[in-house]
Structure 1
Amino acid sequence: MSDPADFIDESLQYESSEERAEEYERRYGTDLAYYGASVGAVRGAVRNAERRYRSLGHDDVAAVASELWSRPVFERRFAAVVLLQSSVRILRSSDLTRIEGFLRSALLRELVDPLAVDVVGPLLLRLRGQDAVRASAVLDRWAAADDPWLRRAAVLAHLPAFRAGDGDDASFRRTVRLVSGAQTGRDTAVEDAVALVRAAGAG
């Protein structure tokens, strides 16, 4: 791994707690491994890494996020999300492909939701021109996907815009139609996401 990814991983392991790891496993299940580092410790590890490696650019951030995500450890993957959150100002429409891979393998709402709301949503708000058109097409594809986490992310990606008073009702309704068409039965995770966005002002 790169030095920044190693630094974050070592910091997370240093902050590990067997008791907390067992609590996470009870709460989230056994699909992922757990170090037992707190959410605050994860955020602190990423923040310290950004201070230590101040020259991280777009490609570096993308690479470190992928390195952290590559192992199915909850805290590593959450650290990747935090890194993308803090770097959203430099992300590009092309990064949605990488994020899609993360969403497909996220396994947990606790990883899917911050990716959708704090990374994808703000990125969509910032894009203009052809980048915005391409991103909209990606969101439509997610909404029509067979993966329920992608569908949930497609819905929740609208939330920042409506919270900011800049939501697009027509775009949101299109997402909901695509999501509904892709579902083979009741999907409470997606229904919950739709309700959240509507509570923020979506029509």
Structure 2
Amino acid sequence: MAEVLDFIDESLQYESTWERAEDHERRFGADLEYYGASVGAVRGSIRNAGRRYPGLDHDDVTALASALWSTPVYERRLAAVVLLQSASGLLRHSDLTRIEGFIRSAALHDLVDALAVDVVGSLLQRLAGQEAVRASAVVARWAGADEPLLRRAAVLAHLPAYRSGNGDDDAFRRTIRSISGVQRSRVPEVEEAIALVRSSGAP
């Protein structure tokens, strides 16, 4: 995995500019460092890595995502998200523990939202049987978590289903009740997520 990691990291740095790095810091804040690569360059780096190193299996993908995420650089963490998006068919309910760690340390709503919608939400739609039950239980626990970003993720995980016309109203209501049980006042990032899902048809 070290070779793949180095390939991606070098690609991201090659595509970076200091002007874009400064712009990212103005937009997102100083909680992370920035190479200054564009979103397109991040996606291209993951696509090129897949072509150069074909046949990555579940363990390869999850280990590589963790290695990318471990350095607090925005583009590396975005690359981890894109990697998980591109390999979503390999993911299992047990990977939600790893993703929970990513969300807790994400610092940025953009990263949380991409994980919640494009990775977790898509996973919930794809799983069936006991895998689906276990995954739903994990995300339900997030709704009552102490971390607002986890609560935001628990809400946004419903979004893909509502966008495809398959939203589960009862599950969404349970999410809202769990959030109400831990929030003593409105939390803007959570309320914003609730409004977004409701605008897509949730009750």
One fold, TM greater than 0.5? Answer: yes
Deviation, 1:183, is 1.2
Deviation, 1:188, is 1.0
Determine the C-alpha separation between the residues in 1 that align with 2:193 and 2:199: 10
Deviation, 1:27, is 0.9
In the alignment, structure 1 segments of 5+ residues that lack a partner are none
The one-letter amino acid of 2:108's match is L
Counterpart of 1:87 in structure 2 is 87
Counterpart of 1:23 in structure 2 is 23
Counterpart of 2:58 in structure 1 is 58
The one-letter amino acid of 1:202's match is A
Determine the C-alpha separation between the residues in 2 that align with 1:42 and 1:123: 22
Determine the C-alpha separation between the residues in 2 that align with 1:46 and 1:181: 40
1:179 corresponds to 2:179: yes
Determine the C-alpha separation between the residues in 1 that align with 2:131 and 2:55: 26
Counterpart of 1:69 in structure 2 is 69
Deviation, 1:182, is 1.4
- The correspondence of residues 1-203 of structure 1 with structure 2, limited to 5 A, is 2-203=2-203
Deviation, 1:184, is 2.8
Deviations 1:98-150 (A, max 9, x none): 00000000000110000000000010011111111111110111000010000
Determine the C-alpha separation between the residues in 1 that align with 2:5 and 2:161: 31
Deviations 1:46-82 (A, max 9, x none): 0000111111011100010000000000000000000
Instruction: Give the TM-score, by structure 2 length.
Output: 0.98
Deviation, 1:185, is 2.0
The one-letter amino acid of 1:138's match is V
Q: State the superposition RMSD in angstroms.
A: 0.8
Determine the C-alpha separation between the residues in 1 that align with 2:35 and 2:180: 37
In the alignment, structure 2 segments of 5+ residues that lack a partner are none
Partner-residue secondary structure (3-state), 1:140: helix
Determine the C-alpha separation between the residues in 1 that align with 2:68 and 2:16: 16
Determine the C-alpha separation between the residues in 2 that align with 1:84 and 1:186: 31
Determine the C-alpha separation between the residues in 2 that align with 1:59 and 1:184: 40
Aligned length: 203
Determine the C-alpha separation between the residues in 2 that align with 1:163 and 1:28: 27
The one-letter amino acid of 2:28's match is Y
Instruction: Give the TM-score, by structure 1 length.
Output: 0.98
Partner-residue secondary structure (3-state), 1:94: helix
The one-letter amino acid of 1:54's match is P
Determine the C-alpha separation between the residues in 2 that align with 1:10 and 1:84: 19
The one-letter amino acid of 1:33's match is E
Determine the C-alpha separation between the residues in 2 that align with 1:95 and 1:199: 29
Determine the C-alpha separation between the residues in 1 that align with 2:11 and 2:47: 11
